[in-house]
Every structure is written in C-alpha cells, then in structure tokens.
Amino acid sequence: MKSKLIILGAVLVLFAVALYVSGSFGEGGGYAQVRQERQASLDRQGAPEGKASLDGEAAPSGQRGADQTEAQLEEAPDFTLKDLDGNAVSLRDLRGKAVYLNFWTTWCKWCKKEMPAMKRVYESFEGRDLAIVAVDIGEGRDKVATYIDQGGYPFQVLLDSDKSVSKSYRVTSIPVSVFVDKEGRVAYRKLGTMKEDEMRLVIQSLVE
C-alpha cells in the first residue's frame, strides 16, 4: 500500500512538471516570455530622472506618458537638417540602420547627464548598423559646436533651428530619446534622462 502511494505521488509530480513546461513554452510562449522579461527590465529602469520644458522651466520628474516607453511601430517622420559642417542630412538616408535620435539643448542639465553615456555607447557599437544623432533644438551653430567640441562627442549632431522636427516628433520637454528601427519605424520612445544600460538594452534589440 505504501509503495503504491509513493508511485502515485511520483506520477502526480511528473504530470505537474509537464503542465508547467507546456504552458511556458508551448505555442511560442518561450519567445513571448523573453520579450516580456526584456520589457520588464526596461520598465524597472524607465522612470525618467529628470526633464526640462522647452521654455527653459523645470518640468516635473518621475512622470511617464503613455507614449514615452511603449513600442510604437508607426513610420518615423522623415526630415532633413544640417549638421555642424552645413551638410544636409535626411533620416531616409539612414534607412537600413537603427537610429537613436536624441533631442536636446546645451542648457538642459538633464541632457548634459546623458551625453557622456551616449559617447560610450557610440564607441562600443561603432561599426554596427547604428547611427546616433543628437538633434539640437533652436540653438545657434557656434554655441552647439563649441559644446560638442569641448565634450569630444563623436556622434552626429543636427540643428533643428526652427524647431520643426521637434514639433513633428511631439517634443515639448527634453531630453527625448526616439529609437527608429532599420525599417524606419519608431520602436521605442523615452522622455527624460536615459541611463546607459537602458540605452544599450534598446539598441541591442534593434541591431541584433
């Protein structure tokens, strides 16, 4: 009798394990779980450290809009802006690469915190299918060039002099990070300062 109970218990344990495995990995469950874990990791890091409104006043930190971290597979608005050398650069010219658009200004203290991290990320992903583009909003070329030279920042910098591009991307506070996939679609959007490991996590998912 005792041996029968032991055998019955073993059968029940094996049955429970089989149900767990099929529930976790059946019908694509394993892949979905990986995606959920990646998004959960981003969410844990995603509360913005700080941001500033474009009129120069401090904006509340720690607030997240519905469109700030969720994937939005809409077409990224195309644009053409000049770089610090006066060359015209269009977003469509970068098609086939993942693009990290960072909207910023030299007076934004939160933007200044991001720049060194962006530099390290740029250097570690150099040679991959990635373009990091810092879009300055409404400032003069000389002021921006001086700031970039002093920091030794290697990524591309474009001048949104009339703020038309920032408006098309619905930027009202800064910094704003927009990640565009290789097909030209907005894959991830974040308002507020991004931490380096968060940048890396999003970029890796787009270039792999």
Domain that holds residue 13: 2-40
Q: Is the pTM of this model over 0.75?
A: no
pLDDT for the residue 31: 29
Are the beta carbons of 75 and 194 closer than 8 angstroms? no
Same domain? For 128 and 184 the reply is yes
Do 53 and 128 fall into the same domain?
yes
10-residue averages of pLDDT along the chain (208 residues): 51 45 34 40 49 56 38 82 97 96 97 96 95 98 98 97 97 96 95 95 94
What is the distance between the alpha carbons of residues 168 and 80, in angstroms, rounded to a whole number?
12
Note whether 20 and 61 are same-domain residues: no
Instruction: Return the closest-CA partner of residue 114 out of 71, 67, 164, 51.
Output: 51
Please tell me the total number of residues recorded for the chain in this structure: 208
User: Does 164 lie in the same domain as 69?
Assistant: yes
Q: Are residues 144 and 181 in the same domain?
A: yes
* Structure-token match 């200004």, residue found: 105
Same domain, 184 and 119: yes
> Do 17 and 95 reside in the same domain of the chain?
no
| Residues 142, 171 within the same domain | yes
| Total number of domains in the chain | 2
Q: Between the CA atoms of 95, 98, 102 and 103, what dihedral angle is there, to the nearest 10 degrees? A: 30
Asked if 60 and 29 sit in the same domain, the reply is no
Same domain assignment for residues 119 and 32: no
User: Does one domain contain both 125 and 67?
Assistant: yes
Give pLDDT, residue 70.
Answer: 42
CATH of the domain at 170: 3.40.30.10
Residues 14 and 95 in one domain: no
